[in-house]
Amino acid sequence: MTLWPKSLCIGLVITSLIPRIADAQGARLEVGAEATGLLTRESPAIAGRDLTEGYLTQPIVMASLGLWNDALALKGTVDFEGLTMKRGELNAGIVGEGYIDRRHPHTYLHELVATAKREFGGAAISLTAGKGFAPFGTDDPMSRPSEKYPINHHLAQILERAIGVGAIRTGRLIIEGALFNGDEPESAGDNPNHARYWDSWSARATFLPFSQGEIQASYARVKSPEVATGGGADQRKQSASIRLEDAQHSGYGLLEWAHTDEYAGGEKTLGFTSLLAETWAKYEALSGAIRLESTQRPDEERLSDPFRTAIPSSDQSSLGRSRWTILTGRVAVSLQAGRGFSLEPFAEVARIHVAEDRTPATFNPIQFYGSSQIWSLSVGAKLSFGMAHMRMGRYGVASTERSSTKMGGMDMPGMKMGAMDGSHH
């Protein structure tokens, strides 16, 4: 019998302990789980060929506990994608962690953090430690409207790191700073490299002009993300975004810009820029979303499996840079399935255009894919239980809106339930 990965076992044990201490004074607990059955067809996917594939994607278990009126909070998320989609999920244009044109499975222990918070005068401070998201950029795409991830996932978020985060909030301004390990995971069972702890940093400033508005700007320096032992290209990352939501939580909008420069020593090599706009609206059980994205991505030499690249990559593996322009539409219906369950059937269609963006380049997208135009169609259903997907990456006093576009929290017998720090649009 194959043993479960160590990180998965640790995540399951610790996450399961969160409800056991929920009887502490002032405790507030939320638990939940979700998974999506998905069928995706891409035309063409590679070399002029169409591909149709099915997955159980985004299977996660979550728990969030606030103690002593949220003076101390614990959050945990276990992600089972390493078991259900080792080959990755068809996602034309996406790249990262050794996958290309397929979204990689995230690590089993996706997030596990503890946050202490204290208020004084007109301000509040918090300290967070554990494994999670660095304070940089925008929300985890798993918690946003579309099932397919945007191409800018690794430009606009820094996730699954060992983090130490300090935050201060005064009036409408939030300032965050963090130290974390620079290395990206190399597999679903990988853990942060102990020798790399605290070698990278990020900072984010957020202004809240009104209760449903959020403007953020952030900066990060990440050492050797693609070479776990160090010595690879460093990244300097910038992000800015505007996020709006109506008071009834039935409409949402995001406009973001992200840019990453890669440096070999002190010399800049490549830069990648992304612009993205998305909106979501709901009327009774029916909801719809639209996303428009224009993102530059690196093109790297592929292995015998054309959807995989070498880890770690080498300077000689770069074949150029391409620009991906994608218009995605989504329609979904939310159905209550009883006993705290919700079912959301959906369909997504994307029109994708790819072109060379840097010359000279040895990667010709038209030759590789068989066309500069790609269609992607996905149909599926998401089954959810309990709490809404948490808003990862905003901890303690940096937490803002407490609601969800995907599913609201539900009261459960014997538990004090409600929107916790970190739940989102």
Mean pLDDT, range 103-121, rounded to an integer: 95
Least confident of 16-30, 101-115, 192-206, 315-329: 16-30
Mean pLDDT, range 163-176, rounded to an integer: 97
Amino acid at 366: I
Cβ proximity of 423 and 405 under 8 Å: no
Write out the residue range of the structural domain in which residue 45 sits.
Answer: 6-398
Mean pLDDT, range 366-386, rounded to an integer: 95
Task: Evaluate whether residue 422 is within a structural domain.
Answer: no
| Stronger pLDDT, 326 or 13, i.e. the higher one | 326
- E strand intervals along 121-266: 123-132, 161-170, 173-180, 200-207, 213-222, 234-245, 251-264
- E strand intervals along 68-172: 72-79, 89-96, 99-103, 109-120, 123-132, 161-170
Task: Evaluate whether residue 90 is within a structural domain.
Answer: yes
Mean pLDDT, range 146-155, rounded to an integer: 97
pLDDT of residue 69: 80
Tens of pLDDT along 185-227? 999 999 999 999 999 999 999 999 988 899 999 999 999 999 9
Q: In 94-186, which residue ranges form alpha helices assigned H by DSSP?
A: 153-156
pTM comes to 0.87
CATH number where 209 lies? 2.40.160.10
pLDDT of residue 418: 33
pLDDT of residue 425: 37
Task: Evaluate whether residue 425 is within a structural domain.
Answer: no
Q: What percent of the chain has pLDDT over 70?
A: 86
Report d(CA 140, CA 113) in Å as an integer: 16
By residue count, the chain amounts to 425
Mean pLDDT, range 291-319, rounded to an integer: 87
Task: Evaluate whether residue 249 is within a structural domain.
Answer: yes
Q: Is the pLDDT of residue 130 over 70?
A: yes
Task: Evaluate whether residue 152 is within a structural domain.
Answer: yes
Whether the bond into 44 is cis, omega within 30 of 0: yes
Mean pLDDT, range 394-420, rounded to an integer: 49
Task: Evaluate whether residue 424 is within a structural domain.
Answer: no
Task: Evaluate whether residue 100 is within a structural domain.
Answer: yes
The domain tally of the chain equals 1
